[in-house]
Structure 1
Amino acid sequence: MKLKKILKIIGVSIFGLIFILLMVSLIPRVSNSSPAYQTELAYGNPVSEEIEKLLTPEVAPERTRAVIILEDEKIIYEYGPTDKIMNTASIRKSLIGLLYGIAVDKGLIDIYKTLAELEIDEYTPLTDLEKTATIQDLLMAKSGVYLPSQGEHDNQITQRPKRGNHKPGSYFHMNNFDANALGTIFMQETGMSIGVFMEKYLAEPLGLQDFSEDNVVVGDPWFWPKKKSMHKQYYMYLSTRDLARIGAMVANNGRWRGTQIVSQNWIKKSTTSYSNLKENHIDYGRYDGFGYQWWLASDTGTIWTDGYGERFMIIDPSEKLTLVEQNYTGNSLFTTGLWLLNKNMDSNLSGLIKAHTMLKQKK
């Protein structure tokens, strides 16, 4: 009798623990907010039926997909839940580049300071040569620091040069050490969290509709074990319509509704190519240049962000066009786990590129 009672207690306890873990795994890490400073996006002349047919799937895609196109500051195409908060993945790198521009203009950051001057190190100590890398080198993905970092994947790992192979500032290698260290340095130099700074100086002036400082998470959102590093990966969750608004501001040389959000000088510097990727040993496909955390395609004159999980933003300053596609990759431990189990990224990038070409031809 005692044994049955003990087994029953154990069974109930295990069930209760599983139930609690399941509930915790379903809790969203970031929730849609409705900030007081938000402003509605206006609508312009819609795209042609041909472009609409190209971008609108006849059958609902396997993943939740959101697509939006802005011409100047107005929506001309929209599909899916463009107000849904999504993890932007590596698009965060371009966004931190914009925040650096604002901080530089405010005199808070000097991008020519070295890692040594900033007292930046790593658990595997940096060499004296590596410490000569400047913030600018990190922005250009040319730090010359080739150490494992949080959130790295694919050719960031397989194509990583050996330590000491290249001096800081001399060789492009897209990596997460540079991006993550930029987050550490940003918080150190401004004395503010990335989320607080981003809300005050970017989201509020732009009138973002779905943002709050909590949309930026420093460290793993679900406390999952990460590679040991002094420089934590940071996650930026944005809706597709908010991301497009930021892109439209870049397309307009840092201005939004007549207000200069990011200086024209910084937009120009950060979207200038400092690397000829065709000379690099890694094939970066559609891109042939890289600025301050922005991908560049000289054949189309476009500026790109590119995030894991098939999410893209194409900015065409000459035509004032911004095209964005995001795929939902989860906002809780459970939904993110489901996404990771499904390897089909399910994007329509080719359609987005064709739509851009057709919109240019229309003009």
Structure 2
Amino acid sequence: MPKKSLLMIGVFLLATTIWAALPRVSNPSPDYQTQPTNDGSHVEKIRAVWPGPNPEDRVRARVVMSGEDIIFEDGPTSQVMNTHSIRKSLLSLIYGIAIDQGLIDLEATLQELGIDENIPLTNQEKSATVRNLLMYRSGIYLPAAGEHDSQITDRPAREEHEPGEYFFANNFDANALGTIFIQETGYELGPFMEEFLATPLGLQDFDANNVIMGDPWFWPSQDTRHLQYYVYMSARDLARIGAMVAQDGQWGGRKVIPKDWIELITAPHSDLEESHVPNHLYSHFGFQWWFQEETGTVWANGYGEHFLMVDPTHDLVLVERNFSGNSLLSTARWLSSGNKFSGSLWELIDTHAMLVKISDS
């Protein structure tokens, strides 16, 4: 092979490697950020129950908040990470803001909103409301971007259930909610989150560009009109959002999200014993939030062991994040790793139980 061709191939491979290694999102330092109070009085007690990761584990970040104070931090808590399905819980929060502003009608049907799919929706499917989608009760059972596992294997037949009748956790509902939000508010998701959520909360590591519509790596996706949205956020910012939820939508004594909306989306609407979800951790589902009856906690979680636990009764928030890549190369490395699920869910639950005892004593 001629030297010129070899050189061109080498340059191409080098450029491709550099591109693949570049972070898709940045760690900004926004002007609106505020520094939370850090109370370390329980650090040793927490660390005894929730020890640090083994050296062979993936990078993990953990945060515990009591009220608006951080009482425990471990790992790269400022590093922005893919939230995976926590994105859906975050979207449900800003839906409350948009509804409060009169921009979205919770009872509007897909027919009224002009929402369809490349595989055309039937009249029955188009009768689903925004409320139905937020509850995973749309009755629409079509392939969707980013779906996996039981979303595919347990998918009911089309029109097997009418809208509102049956809980089925699927990505069509979640992704279509993104489409509806953008259409009805006139905002892209990132700028809306930055203006009405990140700014009033004083988030430290957020940027509108860290919310991406469609695959971050420009790979072909499912043939759909409703793109998956990716939200990259740090553990400490996610914890602050959880603290706001625990305080009925308030931060610093000011309303960020209406209290009645927080109560609605975190209430136990769907009994998971009557659903397709074989889950021993959660008992119910609200509006894109999971509910654990035994502990009275609400949860947002994402693939790869990303957890946000909110305990409104004791004003506690626990976050665990498992770094799953911030570039094409690091994401591929994580996906191919044998220990990509390296969190400590039960230690998180035990830590919460210990903190509740301290709070009740």
TM-score by length of 1: 0.97
Answer whether contact 1:44 1:71 (CA < 8 A) is retained. no
Superimposed CA distance per residue, residues 233-291 of structure 1 (whole angstroms, 9 cap, x where no aligned partner): 00000000000000000000000011110000100111112211112243122111111
User: Which amino acid is the alignment partner of residue 94 of structure 1?
Assistant: S
**How far 1:50 moved relative to its partner?**
3.7
Aligned to 1:8: 3
Number of aligned pairs?
Answer: 358
Superimposed CA distance per residue, residues 191-236 of structure 1 (whole angstroms, 9 cap, x where no aligned partner): 0100000000000000000001001000110101111100000000
Aligned to 1:72: 67
Aligned with residue 19 of structure 1, among 14, 19, 28:
14
Distance 1:351 1:51 in 2: 10
**How far 1:343 moved relative to its partner?**
3.6
Task: Give yes or no for the alignment of 1:353 onto 2:346.
Answer: no
RMSD of aligned Cα (Å): 1.1
Distance 1:201 1:282 in 2: 33
The alignment partner of 2:48 has SS state of helix
Answer whether contact 1:159 1:282 (CA < 8 A) is retained. no
The alignment partner of 2:300 has SS state of strand
**How far 1:58 moved relative to its partner?**
6.5
Aligned with residue 87 of structure 1, among 82, 85, 92:
82
**How far 1:45 moved relative to its partner?**
4.6
Aligned to 2:299: 304
Superimposed CA distance per residue, residues 134-163 of structure 1 (whole angstroms, 9 cap, x where no aligned partner): 000000001110000000011111111111
Aligned with residue 315 of structure 1, among 295, 310, 315:
310
Distance 2:284 2:93 in 1: 18
1:175-214 alignment runs, 5 A limit: 175-214=170-209
Aligned to 1:41: 36
**How far 1:61 moved relative to its partner?**
4.8
Runs of 5+ unmatched residues, structure 1: 1-5
**How far 1:48 moved relative to its partner?**
5.5
Distance 2:173 2:54 in 1: 40
Runs of 5+ unmatched residues, structure 2: none
Answer whether contact 1:88 1:311 (CA < 8 A) is retained. yes
The alignment partner of 2:63 has SS state of strand
Answer whether contact 1:199 1:213 (CA < 8 A) is retained. yes
**How far 1:54 moved relative to its partner?**
2.3
Answer whether contact 2:53 2:60 (CA < 8 A) is retained. no
Distance 1:281 1:180 in 2: 20
Answer whether contact 2:168 2:276 (CA < 8 A) is retained. no
Shifted more, 126-135 versus 335-344: the winner is 335-344
TM-score by length of 2: 0.97
1:209-220 alignment runs, 5 A limit: 209-220=204-215
Answer whether contact 2:46 2:72 (CA < 8 A) is retained. no
Answer whether contact 1:32 1:84 (CA < 8 A) is retained. yes
Aligned to 1:151: 146
**How far 1:57 moved relative to its partner?**
2.1
